[in-house]
Structure 1
Amino acid sequence: MQTIWKGAVSFGLVNVPVKMFLATHDHDIPMRLLHKEYNVPIHYSRTCPKCETEVSWKDIVKGYEYEEGHFVTFDKEELEKLASESSREIKISDFVELADIDPIYYQKTYYLAPEETGKHAYTLLVKALQETSKVGIANVTIRHKSSLAAIRVIDGVLSMSTMSYGEEIRDKNQLPNLPEKQKVEKRELDMAKMLIDQLSTDFDPDQYEDAYRERLLDAIEDKVEGREVKLAPDEEVTSVLDLMDALQASLKDLKSTPSDKAAKKTAKKSNTKRKKTGA
Protein backbone atom coordinates (compact mmCIF):
# COMPACT_ATOMS: atom_id res chain seq x y z
CA MET A 1 0.00 0.00 0.00
CA GLN A 2 1.13 3.53 -0.74
CA THR A 3 1.79 5.93 2.12
CA ILE A 4 -0.30 9.06 1.56
CA TRP A 5 0.70 11.05 4.68
CA LYS A 6 3.27 11.01 7.48
CA GLY A 7 2.90 12.70 10.82
CA ALA A 8 1.97 11.94 14.40
CA VAL A 9 -1.04 11.34 16.62
CA SER A 10 -0.77 13.24 19.90
CA PHE A 11 -2.84 13.39 23.06
CA GLY A 12 -1.60 15.33 26.04
CA LEU A 13 2.19 15.09 25.84
CA VAL A 14 2.14 11.65 24.21
CA ASN A 15 3.30 11.62 20.57
CA VAL A 16 2.76 8.63 18.24
CA PRO A 17 4.62 8.84 14.88
CA VAL A 18 2.45 7.25 12.18
CA LYS A 19 2.07 6.65 8.45
CA MET A 20 -1.37 6.95 6.83
CA PHE A 21 -2.90 4.53 4.32
CA LEU A 22 -6.31 4.50 2.66
CA ALA A 23 -8.53 1.90 4.34
CA THR A 24 -10.85 1.57 1.33
CA HIS A 25 -10.40 1.43 -2.43
CA ASP A 26 -12.52 2.38 -5.41
CA HIS A 27 -14.24 -0.69 -6.85
CA ASP A 28 -15.86 1.11 -9.78
CA ILE A 29 -15.37 -0.20 -13.30
CA PRO A 30 -13.28 2.39 -15.21
CA MET A 31 -14.95 3.81 -18.31
CA ARG A 32 -13.34 6.26 -20.74
CA LEU A 33 -14.96 8.85 -22.96
CA LEU A 34 -14.56 8.06 -26.68
CA HIS A 35 -15.34 9.79 -29.94
CA LYS A 36 -18.39 7.86 -31.11
CA GLU A 37 -17.34 7.89 -34.79
CA TYR A 38 -13.82 6.49 -34.34
CA ASN A 39 -13.91 4.82 -30.90
CA VAL A 40 -10.78 6.65 -29.73
CA PRO A 41 -10.32 8.31 -26.30
CA ILE A 42 -11.02 12.01 -25.94
CA HIS A 43 -8.10 14.15 -24.71
CA TYR A 44 -8.47 17.04 -22.28
CA SER A 45 -6.33 20.16 -22.27
CA ARG A 46 -5.94 23.01 -19.78
CA THR A 47 -6.72 25.95 -22.03
CA CYS A 48 -6.83 29.64 -21.15
CA PRO A 49 -9.94 31.21 -22.74
CA LYS A 50 -8.18 34.59 -22.93
CA CYS A 51 -5.04 33.66 -24.89
CA GLU A 52 -6.48 30.38 -26.25
CA THR A 53 -3.30 28.44 -25.47
CA GLU A 54 -2.69 25.34 -23.35
CA VAL A 55 -1.43 26.15 -19.83
CA SER A 56 1.25 24.02 -18.11
CA TRP A 57 0.85 23.00 -14.46
CA LYS A 58 3.74 25.29 -13.39
CA ASP A 59 1.73 28.30 -14.55
CA ILE A 60 -1.44 27.36 -12.65
CA VAL A 61 -2.37 28.81 -9.25
CA LYS A 62 -5.46 28.48 -7.07
CA GLY A 63 -7.83 31.40 -6.73
CA TYR A 64 -10.88 32.49 -4.76
CA GLU A 65 -13.55 34.50 -6.59
CA TYR A 66 -14.54 37.15 -4.04
CA GLU A 67 -16.83 38.84 -6.55
CA GLU A 68 -17.76 37.97 -10.12
CA GLY A 69 -14.68 38.04 -12.34
CA HIS A 70 -12.32 39.09 -9.51
CA PHE A 71 -9.95 36.65 -7.81
CA VAL A 72 -7.33 36.54 -5.10
CA THR A 73 -4.68 33.93 -5.90
CA PHE A 74 -2.49 31.58 -3.85
CA ASP A 75 0.50 29.57 -5.06
CA LYS A 76 1.54 26.20 -3.62
CA GLU A 77 4.08 27.70 -1.20
CA GLU A 78 1.55 30.13 0.29
CA LEU A 79 -0.97 27.35 0.90
CA GLU A 80 1.70 25.18 2.56
CA LYS A 81 2.62 28.04 4.91
CA LEU A 82 -1.02 28.56 5.81
CA ALA A 83 -1.32 24.85 6.63
CA SER A 84 1.63 25.32 9.06
CA GLU A 85 3.40 22.62 11.04
CA SER A 86 0.12 21.48 12.58
CA SER A 87 -0.64 19.76 9.25
CA ARG A 88 1.77 17.03 10.36
CA GLU A 89 -0.01 16.43 13.64
CA ILE A 90 -3.30 14.77 14.49
CA LYS A 91 -3.87 16.40 17.86
CA ILE A 92 -6.60 14.69 19.90
CA SER A 93 -8.47 17.27 21.95
CA ASP A 94 -11.29 15.12 23.37
CA PHE A 95 -12.36 11.51 23.85
CA VAL A 96 -16.02 10.57 23.30
CA GLU A 97 -18.28 7.52 23.02
CA LEU A 98 -18.54 6.05 19.51
CA ALA A 99 -22.33 5.93 19.83
CA ASP A 100 -22.37 9.71 20.31
CA ILE A 101 -21.16 10.29 16.72
CA ASP A 102 -23.89 10.24 14.09
CA PRO A 103 -22.72 8.52 10.83
CA ILE A 104 -23.71 11.63 8.86
CA TYR A 105 -20.42 13.21 9.98
CA TYR A 106 -18.13 10.48 8.56
CA GLN A 107 -16.31 10.98 5.24
CA LYS A 108 -13.34 8.72 4.47
CA THR A 109 -11.43 6.22 6.62
CA TYR A 110 -7.65 5.70 6.77
CA TYR A 111 -5.44 3.16 8.53
CA LEU A 112 -2.61 4.49 10.68
CA ALA A 113 0.55 2.38 10.95
CA PRO A 114 3.38 3.19 13.39
CA GLU A 115 6.77 4.50 12.37
CA GLU A 116 9.65 2.29 13.53
CA THR A 117 10.28 4.55 16.53
CA GLY A 118 6.60 4.75 17.53
CA LYS A 119 5.57 1.10 17.98
CA HIS A 120 5.38 1.22 21.79
CA ALA A 121 3.37 4.46 21.92
CA TYR A 122 1.14 3.13 19.11
CA THR A 123 0.38 -0.07 21.04
CA LEU A 124 -0.30 1.95 24.19
CA LEU A 125 -2.87 4.14 22.43
CA VAL A 126 -4.56 1.13 20.79
CA LYS A 127 -4.88 -0.68 24.13
CA ALA A 128 -6.10 2.43 25.94
CA LEU A 129 -8.81 3.10 23.33
CA GLN A 130 -9.91 -0.54 23.37
CA GLU A 131 -10.20 -0.77 27.14
CA THR A 132 -11.99 2.56 27.53
CA SER A 133 -14.20 2.08 24.42
CA LYS A 134 -13.50 5.70 23.51
CA VAL A 135 -12.90 7.57 20.26
CA GLY A 136 -10.44 10.44 19.98
CA ILE A 137 -11.66 13.65 18.31
CA ALA A 138 -9.02 15.71 16.51
CA ASN A 139 -8.41 18.34 13.85
CA VAL A 140 -6.27 17.33 10.88
CA THR A 141 -5.05 18.99 7.68
CA ILE A 142 -4.35 16.73 4.69
CA ARG A 143 -3.39 18.19 1.31
CA HIS A 144 -4.40 21.71 2.35
CA LYS A 145 -7.86 20.58 3.49
CA SER A 146 -8.78 20.78 7.14
CA SER A 147 -11.34 18.48 8.69
CA LEU A 148 -12.51 17.01 11.94
CA ALA A 149 -11.34 13.44 12.58
CA ALA A 150 -12.24 10.44 14.71
CA ILE A 151 -9.37 8.26 15.94
CA ARG A 152 -10.50 4.75 16.80
CA VAL A 153 -9.41 1.11 16.73
CA ILE A 154 -10.57 -1.24 13.96
CA ASP A 155 -9.55 -4.90 14.40
CA GLY A 156 -6.58 -3.94 16.54
CA VAL A 157 -5.38 -1.25 14.11
CA LEU A 158 -5.44 2.49 14.72
CA SER A 159 -7.63 4.29 12.18
CA MET A 160 -8.69 7.82 11.38
CA SER A 161 -12.04 8.76 9.86
CA THR A 162 -12.28 12.31 8.51
CA MET A 163 -15.50 14.05 9.51
CA SER A 164 -17.53 17.07 8.50
CA TYR A 165 -17.70 20.05 10.82
CA GLY A 166 -21.09 20.87 12.31
CA GLU A 167 -21.48 23.90 10.02
CA GLU A 168 -21.09 21.62 6.97
CA ILE A 169 -24.18 19.56 7.82
CA ARG A 170 -27.30 20.98 6.22
CA ASP A 171 -30.22 21.95 8.41
CA LYS A 172 -32.95 19.29 8.17
CA ASN A 173 -35.56 22.04 8.29
CA GLN A 174 -34.61 22.87 4.70
CA LEU A 175 -36.20 19.60 3.56
CA PRO A 176 -39.66 19.84 2.00
CA ASN A 177 -42.74 17.82 3.02
CA LEU A 178 -41.48 16.69 6.43
CA PRO A 179 -44.40 15.24 8.43
CA GLU A 180 -45.47 17.17 11.51
CA LYS A 181 -47.05 15.27 14.41
CA GLN A 182 -48.16 12.48 12.09
CA LYS A 183 -50.14 9.85 14.01
CA VAL A 184 -49.27 6.16 13.62
CA GLU A 185 -51.73 3.38 14.45
CA LYS A 186 -50.48 1.00 17.14
CA ARG A 187 -51.26 -2.07 14.99
CA GLU A 188 -49.22 -0.63 12.11
CA LEU A 189 -46.33 0.15 14.45
CA ASP A 190 -46.38 -3.37 15.93
CA MET A 191 -46.31 -4.90 12.43
CA ALA A 192 -43.45 -2.61 11.36
CA LYS A 193 -41.45 -3.55 14.47
CA MET A 194 -42.13 -7.22 13.78
CA LEU A 195 -40.86 -6.80 10.21
CA ILE A 196 -37.70 -5.07 11.48
CA ASP A 197 -37.19 -7.90 13.98
CA GLN A 198 -37.53 -10.51 11.20
CA LEU A 199 -34.95 -8.69 9.06
CA SER A 200 -32.50 -8.10 11.94
CA THR A 201 -29.13 -9.88 11.77
CA ASP A 202 -25.44 -9.40 12.48
CA PHE A 203 -23.77 -7.03 10.04
CA ASP A 204 -21.68 -8.90 7.46
CA PRO A 205 -20.47 -6.59 4.65
CA ASP A 206 -19.46 -9.58 2.50
CA GLN A 207 -23.06 -10.62 2.00
CA TYR A 208 -23.93 -7.39 0.15
CA GLU A 209 -23.05 -6.82 -3.48
CA ASP A 210 -23.02 -3.96 -5.96
CA ALA A 211 -25.86 -5.09 -8.26
CA TYR A 212 -25.12 -2.41 -10.87
CA ARG A 213 -21.46 -3.46 -11.05
CA GLU A 214 -22.49 -7.09 -11.57
CA ARG A 215 -24.86 -6.14 -14.43
CA LEU A 216 -22.18 -3.95 -16.00
CA LEU A 217 -19.59 -6.76 -15.86
CA ASP A 218 -22.09 -9.10 -17.55
CA ALA A 219 -22.75 -6.50 -20.24
CA ILE A 220 -19.00 -5.97 -20.82
CA GLU A 221 -18.49 -9.72 -21.14
CA ASP A 222 -21.37 -9.96 -23.63
CA LYS A 223 -19.98 -7.11 -25.75
CA VAL A 224 -16.41 -8.49 -25.72
CA GLU A 225 -17.73 -11.88 -26.86
CA GLY A 226 -19.89 -10.23 -29.53
CA ARG A 227 -23.14 -11.29 -27.89
CA GLU A 228 -26.26 -9.19 -27.59
CA VAL A 229 -26.49 -7.39 -24.26
CA LYS A 230 -29.39 -8.82 -22.29
CA LEU A 231 -31.20 -6.24 -20.20
CA ALA A 232 -33.65 -7.21 -17.49
CA PRO A 233 -37.13 -5.71 -17.96
CA ASP A 234 -38.01 -2.78 -15.74
CA GLU A 235 -39.73 -3.85 -12.56
CA GLU A 236 -43.32 -2.77 -12.40
CA VAL A 237 -43.83 -0.35 -9.55
CA THR A 238 -47.21 -0.70 -7.92
CA SER A 239 -48.59 1.91 -5.57
CA VAL A 240 -49.59 0.44 -2.23
CA LEU A 241 -52.77 2.00 -0.95
CA ASP A 242 -53.13 -0.05 2.23
CA LEU A 243 -50.12 0.09 4.55
CA MET A 244 -51.30 -2.87 6.63
CA ASP A 245 -51.55 -5.04 3.50
CA ALA A 246 -47.98 -4.12 2.59
CA LEU A 247 -46.69 -4.98 6.08
CA GLN A 248 -48.53 -8.30 6.16
CA ALA A 249 -47.33 -9.23 2.66
CA SER A 250 -43.74 -8.37 3.63
CA LEU A 251 -43.88 -10.62 6.70
CA LYS A 252 -45.36 -13.42 4.61
CA ASP A 253 -42.50 -13.17 2.09
CA LEU A 254 -39.96 -13.60 4.90
CA LYS A 255 -41.14 -17.11 5.74
CA SER A 256 -38.33 -18.72 3.72
CA THR A 257 -36.34 -21.41 5.54
CA PRO A 258 -32.82 -20.76 6.89
CA SER A 259 -31.46 -23.31 4.38
CA ASP A 260 -32.87 -21.24 1.53
CA LYS A 261 -31.15 -18.15 2.86
CA ALA A 262 -27.86 -20.01 3.31
CA ALA A 263 -28.08 -21.34 -0.27
CA LYS A 264 -28.69 -17.85 -1.63
CA LYS A 265 -25.75 -16.47 0.36
CA THR A 266 -23.41 -19.23 -0.93
CA ALA A 267 -24.55 -18.65 -4.51
CA LYS A 268 -24.01 -14.90 -4.15
CA LYS A 269 -20.43 -15.37 -2.89
CA SER A 270 -19.68 -17.83 -5.71
CA ASN A 271 -21.07 -15.41 -8.28
CA THR A 272 -19.02 -12.51 -6.85
CA LYS A 273 -15.85 -14.61 -7.00
CA ARG A 274 -16.57 -15.51 -10.62
CA LYS A 275 -17.07 -11.84 -11.52
CA LYS A 276 -13.80 -10.80 -9.82
CA THR A 277 -11.93 -13.51 -11.75
CA GLY A 278 -13.59 -12.45 -15.00
CA ALA A 279 -12.77 -8.80 -14.39
Structure 2
Amino acid sequence: MHTVWKGAISFGLVHVPVKMYTATEDKDIHFRSLHKDCGMPINYAKTCRHCEKEVGPDDIVKGFEYEKGKFVIVKEEELEAIKPESAKTIQILDFVDLPDIDPIYFQKAYYLSPDMAGAGAYSLLLEAIKQSGKIGIAKISIRSKSSLAAIRFVDNCLCLETMFFPDEIRSISQVPNLPEQTVVNEKELAMAKTLVEQLSEKFDPSKYTDDYRIALTELIEQKIAGESIDIVTAPDTEGRSNVIDLMAALQASLDATKAPPAPAAPKRKRTTKKKQDHVS
Protein backbone atom coordinates (compact mmCIF):
# COMPACT_ATOMS: atom_id res chain seq x y z
CA MET A 1 0.00 0.00 0.00
CA HIS A 2 1.12 3.56 -0.73
CA THR A 3 1.42 5.92 2.26
CA VAL A 4 -0.82 8.95 1.63
CA TRP A 5 -0.18 10.79 4.93
CA LYS A 6 2.29 10.55 7.79
CA GLY A 7 1.92 12.19 11.18
CA ALA A 8 0.45 11.39 14.57
CA ILE A 9 -2.83 11.06 16.45
CA SER A 10 -3.03 13.02 19.69
CA PHE A 11 -5.64 12.54 22.40
CA GLY A 12 -4.99 14.29 25.66
CA LEU A 13 -1.22 14.10 26.18
CA VAL A 14 -0.88 10.79 24.32
CA HIS A 15 0.98 10.96 20.98
CA VAL A 16 0.50 8.09 18.48
CA PRO A 17 2.78 8.18 15.38
CA VAL A 18 0.88 6.72 12.41
CA LYS A 19 1.00 6.20 8.67
CA MET A 20 -2.20 6.42 6.64
CA TYR A 21 -3.25 4.26 3.69
CA THR A 22 -6.31 4.45 1.43
CA ALA A 23 -8.80 1.80 2.57
CA THR A 24 -10.79 1.68 -0.67
CA GLU A 25 -9.89 1.49 -4.35
CA ASP A 26 -11.48 2.74 -7.53
CA LYS A 27 -12.69 -0.26 -9.57
CA ASP A 28 -14.31 1.83 -12.30
CA ILE A 29 -13.24 1.08 -15.85
CA HIS A 30 -11.70 4.19 -17.36
CA PHE A 31 -11.58 4.90 -21.09
CA ARG A 32 -8.98 6.95 -22.95
CA SER A 33 -10.07 9.45 -25.61
CA LEU A 34 -8.64 8.44 -28.99
CA HIS A 35 -8.43 10.12 -32.36
CA LYS A 36 -11.13 8.47 -34.43
CA ASP A 37 -9.05 8.44 -37.63
CA CYS A 38 -5.80 6.90 -36.38
CA GLY A 39 -6.60 5.56 -32.88
CA MET A 40 -3.91 7.55 -31.05
CA PRO A 41 -4.64 8.92 -27.53
CA ILE A 42 -5.61 12.60 -27.35
CA ASN A 43 -3.34 14.92 -25.34
CA TYR A 44 -4.88 17.72 -23.28
CA ALA A 45 -2.35 20.55 -23.07
CA LYS A 46 -2.70 23.53 -20.70
CA THR A 47 -2.88 26.65 -22.83
CA CYS A 48 -3.31 30.40 -22.24
CA ARG A 49 -6.16 31.86 -24.28
CA HIS A 50 -4.56 35.32 -24.19
CA CYS A 51 -1.02 34.34 -25.20
CA GLU A 52 -2.28 31.49 -27.42
CA LYS A 53 0.50 29.14 -26.35
CA GLU A 54 1.06 26.09 -24.17
CA VAL A 55 1.99 26.83 -20.54
CA GLY A 56 4.42 24.72 -18.48
CA PRO A 57 4.11 23.87 -14.75
CA ASP A 58 6.64 26.56 -13.73
CA ASP A 59 4.50 29.27 -15.33
CA ILE A 60 1.26 28.34 -13.51
CA VAL A 61 0.13 30.00 -10.25
CA LYS A 62 -2.99 29.62 -8.10
CA GLY A 63 -5.68 32.30 -8.39
CA PHE A 64 -9.08 32.78 -6.73
CA GLU A 65 -11.80 34.42 -8.85
CA TYR A 66 -13.49 36.88 -6.49
CA GLU A 67 -15.36 38.65 -9.31
CA LYS A 68 -16.02 37.66 -12.90
CA GLY A 69 -12.65 37.89 -14.63
CA LYS A 70 -10.84 39.23 -11.53
CA PHE A 71 -8.40 37.02 -9.62
CA VAL A 72 -6.27 37.31 -6.51
CA ILE A 73 -2.97 35.39 -6.70
CA VAL A 74 -2.02 33.16 -3.75
CA LYS A 75 1.58 31.94 -3.59
CA GLU A 76 2.63 28.47 -2.44
CA GLU A 77 4.67 29.90 0.47
CA GLU A 78 1.58 31.83 1.65
CA LEU A 79 -0.45 28.61 1.64
CA GLU A 80 2.32 26.81 3.51
CA ALA A 81 2.42 29.54 6.18
CA ILE A 82 -1.24 29.19 7.11
CA LYS A 83 -1.41 25.38 7.15
CA PRO A 84 -3.22 24.26 10.31
CA GLU A 85 -1.74 22.01 12.97
CA SER A 86 -3.90 19.20 11.58
CA ALA A 87 -1.53 19.03 8.59
CA LYS A 88 0.87 17.08 10.81
CA THR A 89 -1.31 15.89 13.70
CA ILE A 90 -4.74 14.26 13.90
CA GLN A 91 -6.01 15.83 17.10
CA ILE A 92 -8.97 14.01 18.63
CA LEU A 93 -11.37 16.67 19.90
CA ASP A 94 -14.19 14.51 21.29
CA PHE A 95 -15.35 10.92 21.68
CA VAL A 96 -18.92 10.23 20.55
CA ASP A 97 -21.31 7.36 19.80
CA LEU A 98 -21.30 6.20 16.16
CA PRO A 99 -25.15 6.14 15.88
CA ASP A 100 -25.13 9.88 16.66
CA ILE A 101 -23.46 10.61 13.29
CA ASP A 102 -25.62 10.68 10.18
CA PRO A 103 -23.93 8.74 7.32
CA ILE A 104 -24.30 11.84 5.09
CA TYR A 105 -21.20 13.25 6.82
CA PHE A 106 -18.85 10.44 5.80
CA GLN A 107 -16.52 10.79 2.79
CA LYS A 108 -13.57 8.40 2.39
CA ALA A 109 -12.01 5.66 4.51
CA TYR A 110 -8.32 5.24 5.38
CA TYR A 111 -6.40 2.65 7.40
CA LEU A 112 -3.92 3.82 10.04
CA SER A 113 -0.87 1.80 11.04
CA PRO A 114 1.63 2.49 13.85
CA ASP A 115 4.79 4.28 12.76
CA MET A 116 8.27 3.99 14.24
CA ALA A 117 8.12 3.01 17.93
CA GLY A 118 4.44 3.88 18.28
CA ALA A 119 3.00 0.35 18.52
CA GLY A 120 2.36 0.63 22.27
CA ALA A 121 0.44 3.92 22.08
CA TYR A 122 -1.38 2.67 18.95
CA SER A 123 -2.55 -0.48 20.74
CA LEU A 124 -3.63 1.61 23.74
CA LEU A 125 -5.85 3.88 21.62
CA LEU A 126 -7.21 0.92 19.62
CA GLU A 127 -8.18 -1.01 22.75
CA ALA A 128 -9.64 2.08 24.46
CA ILE A 129 -11.92 2.72 21.47
CA LYS A 130 -12.90 -0.96 21.29
CA GLN A 131 -13.83 -1.27 24.94
CA SER A 132 -15.52 2.13 25.28
CA GLY A 133 -17.69 1.68 22.18
CA LYS A 134 -16.89 5.28 21.22
CA ILE A 135 -15.31 6.82 18.14
CA GLY A 136 -12.98 9.81 18.06
CA ILE A 137 -13.86 13.04 16.25
CA ALA A 138 -10.79 14.85 14.95
CA LYS A 139 -9.50 17.30 12.37
CA ILE A 140 -7.04 16.42 9.62
CA SER A 141 -5.55 18.09 6.53
CA ILE A 142 -4.76 15.93 3.52
CA ARG A 143 -3.34 17.49 0.35
CA SER A 144 -4.34 21.04 1.37
CA LYS A 145 -7.92 19.95 2.15
CA SER A 146 -9.05 20.25 5.76
CA SER A 147 -11.67 17.77 6.97
CA LEU A 148 -13.39 16.49 10.03
CA ALA A 149 -12.59 12.85 10.71
CA ALA A 150 -14.00 9.92 12.64
CA ILE A 151 -11.51 7.46 14.13
CA ARG A 152 -12.84 3.99 14.83
CA PHE A 153 -11.54 0.43 14.62
CA VAL A 154 -11.89 -2.34 12.04
CA ASP A 155 -10.73 -5.66 13.51
CA ASN A 156 -7.27 -4.83 14.93
CA CYS A 157 -6.74 -1.68 12.84
CA LEU A 158 -7.57 1.96 13.46
CA CYS A 159 -9.66 3.38 10.62
CA LEU A 160 -10.09 7.06 9.81
CA GLU A 161 -13.14 8.29 7.89
CA THR A 162 -12.93 11.83 6.54
CA MET A 163 -16.13 13.82 7.09
CA PHE A 164 -17.80 16.91 5.69
CA PHE A 165 -18.02 19.99 7.90
CA PRO A 166 -21.61 20.95 8.82
CA ASP A 167 -21.63 23.96 6.47
CA GLU A 168 -20.76 21.62 3.56
CA ILE A 169 -24.02 19.69 4.00
CA ARG A 170 -26.83 21.23 1.99
CA SER A 171 -30.03 22.05 3.84
CA ILE A 172 -33.00 19.72 3.33
CA SER A 173 -35.06 22.87 2.69
CA GLN A 174 -33.35 23.15 -0.71
CA VAL A 175 -34.83 19.83 -1.89
CA PRO A 176 -37.91 20.52 -4.07
CA ASN A 177 -41.33 18.84 -3.82
CA LEU A 178 -40.90 17.34 -0.35
CA PRO A 179 -44.25 16.69 1.40
CA GLU A 180 -44.94 19.00 4.34
CA GLN A 181 -46.24 16.00 6.26
CA THR A 182 -46.49 12.31 5.45
CA VAL A 183 -50.00 10.92 5.00
CA VAL A 184 -50.21 7.18 4.34
CA ASN A 185 -52.86 4.50 4.20
CA GLU A 186 -52.62 2.35 7.34
CA LYS A 187 -53.16 -0.94 5.45
CA GLU A 188 -50.47 -0.01 2.93
CA LEU A 189 -48.13 0.97 5.76
CA ALA A 190 -48.70 -2.35 7.55
CA MET A 191 -47.93 -4.27 4.36
CA ALA A 192 -44.84 -2.13 3.69
CA LYS A 193 -43.54 -2.81 7.21
CA THR A 194 -44.17 -6.53 6.72
CA LEU A 195 -42.22 -6.39 3.45
CA VAL A 196 -39.35 -4.60 5.20
CA GLU A 197 -39.29 -7.31 7.87
CA GLN A 198 -39.29 -10.13 5.30
CA LEU A 199 -36.43 -8.53 3.39
CA SER A 200 -34.40 -7.82 6.54
CA GLU A 201 -31.26 -9.82 7.25
CA LYS A 202 -27.74 -9.38 8.56
CA PHE A 203 -25.59 -7.21 6.29
CA ASP A 204 -23.30 -9.35 4.13
CA PRO A 205 -21.23 -7.15 1.76
CA SER A 206 -20.03 -10.18 -0.24
CA LYS A 207 -23.48 -10.67 -1.79
CA TYR A 208 -23.42 -7.30 -3.57
CA THR A 209 -21.57 -6.87 -6.84
CA ASP A 210 -21.12 -4.17 -9.47
CA ASP A 211 -23.06 -5.88 -12.27
CA TYR A 212 -22.35 -3.11 -14.80
CA ARG A 213 -18.58 -3.26 -14.24
CA ILE A 214 -18.64 -7.06 -14.59
CA ALA A 215 -20.59 -6.82 -17.87
CA LEU A 216 -18.29 -4.06 -19.16
CA THR A 217 -15.19 -6.12 -18.30
CA GLU A 218 -16.69 -9.11 -20.12
CA LEU A 219 -17.43 -6.94 -23.16
CA ILE A 220 -13.86 -5.61 -23.27
CA GLU A 221 -12.37 -9.10 -22.88
CA GLN A 222 -14.50 -10.40 -25.74
CA LYS A 223 -13.39 -7.54 -27.96
CA ILE A 224 -9.73 -8.20 -27.09
CA ALA A 225 -10.26 -11.87 -27.96
CA GLY A 226 -11.80 -10.88 -31.29
CA GLU A 227 -15.24 -12.21 -30.39
CA SER A 228 -18.56 -10.66 -31.36
CA ILE A 229 -21.66 -10.59 -29.17
CA ASP A 230 -25.35 -10.23 -29.77
CA ILE A 231 -26.66 -6.93 -28.41
CA VAL A 232 -29.96 -7.32 -26.58
CA THR A 233 -32.08 -4.17 -26.39
CA ALA A 234 -33.93 -3.53 -23.13
CA PRO A 235 -37.74 -3.50 -23.43
CA ASP A 236 -39.38 -0.13 -24.00
CA THR A 237 -40.99 1.18 -20.81
CA GLU A 238 -42.36 4.46 -22.18
CA GLY A 239 -45.81 3.01 -22.65
CA ARG A 240 -46.17 1.97 -19.03
CA SER A 241 -48.68 3.79 -16.88
CA ASN A 242 -47.36 6.05 -14.12
CA VAL A 243 -50.39 5.19 -11.97
CA ILE A 244 -49.27 2.73 -9.29
CA ASP A 245 -51.65 0.47 -7.39
CA LEU A 246 -49.69 0.41 -4.13
CA MET A 247 -51.69 -2.39 -2.55
CA ALA A 248 -51.23 -4.62 -5.58
CA ALA A 249 -47.53 -3.79 -5.80
CA LEU A 250 -47.01 -4.47 -2.10
CA GLN A 251 -48.90 -7.77 -2.27
CA ALA A 252 -46.90 -8.87 -5.31
CA SER A 253 -43.69 -7.95 -3.51
CA LEU A 254 -44.71 -9.95 -0.44
CA ASP A 255 -45.63 -12.93 -2.60
CA ALA A 256 -42.24 -12.71 -4.34
CA THR A 257 -40.39 -12.90 -1.02
CA LYS A 258 -42.18 -16.15 -0.23
CA ALA A 259 -41.67 -17.73 -3.65
CA PRO A 260 -38.62 -19.93 -4.37
CA PRO A 261 -35.74 -18.13 -6.10
CA ALA A 262 -36.04 -17.90 -9.86
CA PRO A 263 -33.52 -19.81 -12.01
CA ALA A 264 -30.49 -17.85 -13.12
CA ALA A 265 -30.91 -15.92 -16.36
CA PRO A 266 -29.13 -17.44 -19.35
CA LYS A 267 -25.84 -15.84 -20.31
CA ARG A 268 -25.66 -13.61 -23.33
CA LYS A 269 -25.11 -15.52 -26.53
CA ARG A 270 -21.57 -15.34 -27.81
CA THR A 271 -20.59 -15.84 -31.41
CA THR A 272 -16.90 -16.46 -32.00
CA LYS A 273 -15.52 -15.35 -35.31
CA LYS A 274 -13.83 -18.27 -37.03
CA LYS A 275 -10.53 -17.52 -38.66
CA GLN A 276 -10.25 -18.71 -42.26
CA ASP A 277 -7.15 -20.62 -43.28
CA HIS A 278 -5.29 -18.98 -46.13
CA VAL A 279 -3.87 -21.35 -48.74
CA SER A 280 -0.69 -20.14 -50.30
By the TM > 0.5 criterion, same fold? yes
Please state if 1:23 is matched with 2:23.
yes
Contact 1:61–1:75 (8 Å) recurs in 2: yes
Please state if 1:92 is matched with 2:92.
yes
The normalised TM-score by structure 2 is 0.88
Greater Cα radius of gyration, structure 1 or 2: 2
Relative to structure 1, the CA distance from residue 144 to residue 37 in structure 2 (aligned partners, 3 Å threshold; closer, same or farther) is same
> Helix, strand or coil for the counterpart of 2:146?
strand
Relative to structure 1, the CA distance from residue 160 to residue 185 in structure 2 (aligned partners, 3 Å threshold; closer, same or farther) is same
- What does 1:137-156 correspond to in 2, within 5 Å? 137-156=137-156
Deviation digits for residues 55-76 of structure 1 (CA, Å, limit 9, x no counterpart): 1112212111111111111232
> What corresponds to 1:35 in structure 2?
35
> What corresponds to 2:133 in structure 1?
133
Structure 2: distance between partners of 1:172 and 1:77: 39
> What corresponds to 2:246 in structure 1?
243
Quick one: percent identity of the two aligned structures? Answer: 52
> What corresponds to 1:273 in structure 2?
none
Supply the RMSD in Å over aligned alpha carbons: 1.8
> What corresponds to 1:9 in structure 2?
9
Contact 2:2–2:21 (8 Å) recurs in 1: yes
Contact 2:151–2:159 (8 Å) recurs in 1: yes
Relative to structure 1, the CA distance from residue 53 to residue 132 in structure 2 (aligned partners, 3 Å threshold; closer, same or farther) is same
Q: For residue 123 of structure 1, report the CA deviation from its aligned partner.
A: 0.3
User: Which of 235, 253, 256 lines up with 1:253 in the alignment?
Assistant: 256
Structure 2: distance between partners of 1:256 and 1:156: 41
> What corresponds to 1:198 in structure 2?
198
Q: For residue 219 of structure 1, report the CA deviation from its aligned partner.
A: 1.6
Structure 2: distance between partners of 1:148 and 1:61: 28
Higher helix proportion (structure 1 or 2):
1
- What does 1:194-273 correspond to in 2, within 5 Å? 194-237=194-237, 238=240, 239-257=242-260, 260=261
Deviation digits for residues 61-100 of structure 1 (CA, Å, limit 9, x no counterpart): 2111111111111232221221144310110111100000
Structure 2: distance between partners of 1:99 and 1:240: 38
> Helix, strand or coil for the counterpart of 2:3?
coil
Structure 2: distance between partners of 1:120 and 1:197: 45
Structure 2: distance between partners of 1:106 and 1:241: 35
In structure 1, what residue type is equivalent to 2:219?
A
> What corresponds to 1:81 in structure 2?
81
In structure 2, what residue type is equivalent to 1:158?
L
Deviation digits for residues 28-58 of structure 1 (CA, Å, limit 9, x no counterpart): 1121011112111101111111112221112
Structure 2: distance between partners of 1:240 and 1:229: 37
In structure 2, what residue type is equivalent to 1:247?
L
- What does 1:46-61 correspond to in 2, within 5 Å? 46-61=46-61
Structure 1: distance between partners of 2:191 and 2:185: 10
Contact 2:150–2:162 (8 Å) recurs in 1: yes
Deviation digits for residues 157-185 of structure 1 (CA, Å, limit 9, x no counterpart): 10111100111111111111111223111
> What corresponds to 1:65 in structure 2?
65
Contact 1:219–1:230 (8 Å) recurs in 2: no
Contact 1:8–1:17 (8 Å) recurs in 2: yes
> Helix, strand or coil for the counterpart of 1:17?
strand
The normalised TM-score by structure 1 is 0.89
Structure 1: distance between partners of 2:159 and 2:213: 28
Q: For residue 236 of structure 1, report the CA deviation from its aligned partner.
A: 4.7
> What corresponds to 1:277 in structure 2?
none
Query: Which is further off, 87-96 or 230-239?
Result: 230-239
Structure 2: distance between partners of 1:114 and 1:182: 50
> What corresponds to 1:272 in structure 2?
none
In structure 1, what residue type is equivalent to 2:178?
L
Structure 2: distance between partners of 1:235 and 1:98: 44
> Helix, strand or coil for the counterpart of 1:8?
strand
Structure 2: distance between partners of 1:99 and 1:45: 47
Aligned length, in residue pairs: 262
Structure 2: distance between partners of 1:236 and 1:137: 49
Q: For residue 252 of structure 1, report the CA deviation from its aligned partner.
A: 1.0
Contact 1:240–1:246 (8 Å) recurs in 2: no
Relative to structure 1, the CA distance from residue 29 to residue 186 in structure 2 (aligned partners, 3 Å threshold; closer, same or farther) is same
